[in-house]
Amino acid sequence: MQPNLDYTLPLSARYMLLSALGFSLMAACVKEVDTYGIPVMEIIAARAIVSLIISYLDVKRKGISLWGTDKPRLIARGVVGALALICVYYAITTLPLAEATLIQYLHPAFTAIIALIFLREHLHLSTIICIVLSIAGLAIMVQPGLLAGGLSELPRFSVIIAILGALGSAVAYVLVRRLSQSEDSSVIIFYFPLVALPVACLLPGESFVMPDLPALILLILVGIFTQIGQVGLTKAMQTEGAGKATAYSYVQVIFAVILGWVIFAETPSLWTWLGGSLIIAGALINTLGHQLSRKLKG
């Protein structure tokens, strides 16, 4: 008698795949709208306007207060998130899509270090392995010339900005973990565009460029795909089996490679594949190691 096997993808995994696709399409739209000469700050402001409207309607739908209770941390999360977003968008517009996405996946290593310092969380062996593999993978991606002479390297300034984006994302993630103990997820999401909009408008940058119709559509899509990514991620984390679903988030790298190849004719180098594999392997080991640790404690 054949065993009854269920090959249906869990709901949490479906939400996580939706999130990965949403964020990948957002990145592709950011890179594409940059070709229309739209400055990064303007892209962020446009995204913030769309996200602010959607987030406001979501909070009102729930019938809860817009402002939350822990306002200092909510504002801090918004500021850090906005600065990280500036770095991430700059990296997307100046690096190949796959490389920019892979560097962003350094954030689990940064999150572990920040949580150790500020939340007094212990470093598991899996996390230490994650940090080591992430550093090794980044070195291979950024400076393949260390291993083989005469190879082109990624632009260092863009890589530094991308790393700062990953660091900022990690700080924002730690703040969200703390805020989740007292705040509704919709309020946390609402504060991000609420703070990001004035930050993008006040920080110095290139002059405003009036978008034509195609550029305007792309700017709106940046906000919409961002919201899809955030909603998918939030739903996945609220669903049973959220820990297992986290592994599916790394399919965003595959989406980035496909979109970069199809839309922008970008082909990742062998060194990107090798270094990126180490970064993703480290992040997966960190995720699965924490899951195993929780099961053993339970």
Q: Which of 244, 185, 147, 174 is nearest to 59 (CA)?
A: 185
> Is pLDDT of 54 > 60?
yes
With respect to residue 1, please indicate whether it lies within any of the assigned structural domains. Answer: no
**pLDDT, tens digit, 9 for 90 and up, residues 248-289:** 677 888 889 899 999 999 988 888 888 888 888 887 787 777
Q: Are 249 and 21 in contact (CB under 8 A)?
A: no
Domain limits for position 62:
15-237+245-297
> Is pLDDT of 233 > 50?
yes
**pLDDT, tens digit, 9 for 90 and up, residues 70-88:** 999 999 999 998 999 999 9
Average pLDDT for 143-157: 62
pLDDT at 243 (0 to 100): 53
With respect to residue 199, please indicate whether it lies within any of the assigned structural domains. Answer: yes
Q: Kindly indicate the confidence band of residue 130, based on its pLDDT and cuts at 50, 70 and 90.
A: confident
With respect to residue 6, please indicate whether it lies within any of the assigned structural domains. Answer: no
Type of residue at 38: I
Q: Kindly indicate the confidence band of residue 6, based on its pLDDT and cuts at 50, 70 and 90.
A: very low
Type of residue at 98: A
| Distance from C-alpha of 255 to C-alpha of 50, rounded to nearest angstrom | 23
Greater model confidence, 9 or 262: 262
pLDDT at 129 (0 to 100): 84
With respect to residue 102, please indicate whether it lies within any of the assigned structural domains. Answer: yes
Type of residue at 170: A
Lookup result for tokens 């560097």:
103
Greater model confidence, 225 or 13: 225
With respect to residue 9, please indicate whether it lies within any of the assigned structural domains. Answer: no
Average pLDDT for 138-146: 70
With respect to residue 4, please indicate whether it lies within any of the assigned structural domains. Answer: no
> Is pLDDT of 151 > 90?
no
Q: State what percent of residues in the chain have pLDDT above 90.
A: 35
Contacts of 217 by beta carbon, 8 Å cutoff, 6+ apart: none
Domain count, the chain: 1
**pLDDT, tens digit, 9 for 90 and up, residues 175-219:** 887 887 888 888 988 998 999 999 988 887 778 899 999 999 999
With respect to residue 10, please indicate whether it lies within any of the assigned structural domains. Answer: no
| Distance from C-alpha of 264 to C-alpha of 10, rounded to nearest angstrom | 33
> Is pLDDT of 7 > 50?
no
pLDDT at 21 (0 to 100): 92
Average pLDDT for 163-178: 86
Full DSSP string of 89-123: HHHHHHS-HHHHHHHHTTHHHHHHHHHHHHS-PPP
Q: Kindly indicate the confidence band of residue 112, based on its pLDDT and cuts at 50, 70 and 90.
A: confident
Q: State what percent of residues in the chain have pLDDT above 70.
A: 84
User: What is the sign of the dihedral through the CA atoms of 162, 165, 169 and 175?
Assistant: positive
Average pLDDT for 240-249: 59
* DSSP label at residue 246: G
* HSE toward the beta carbon, residue 135, CA cutoff 13 A: 7
Q: Which of 152, 148, 221, 230 is nearest to 185 (CA)?
A: 230
How would you class 4 by CB atoms within 10 Å of its CB: exposed for 0-12, middle for 13-18, buried for 19 or more?
A: exposed
With respect to residue 27, please indicate whether it lies within any of the assigned structural domains. Answer: yes
- pTM of this prediction? 0.83
**Residue-averaged pLDDT of the chain:** 82
> Is pLDDT of 39 > 70?
yes
| Distance from C-alpha of 61 to C-alpha of 54, rounded to nearest angstrom | 11
Q: Kindly indicate the confidence band of residue 5, based on its pLDDT and cuts at 50, 70 and 90.
A: very low
Quickly count helices (H) and strands (E) in the chain.
12, 0
| Distance from C-alpha of 132 to C-alpha of 117, rounded to nearest angstrom | 18
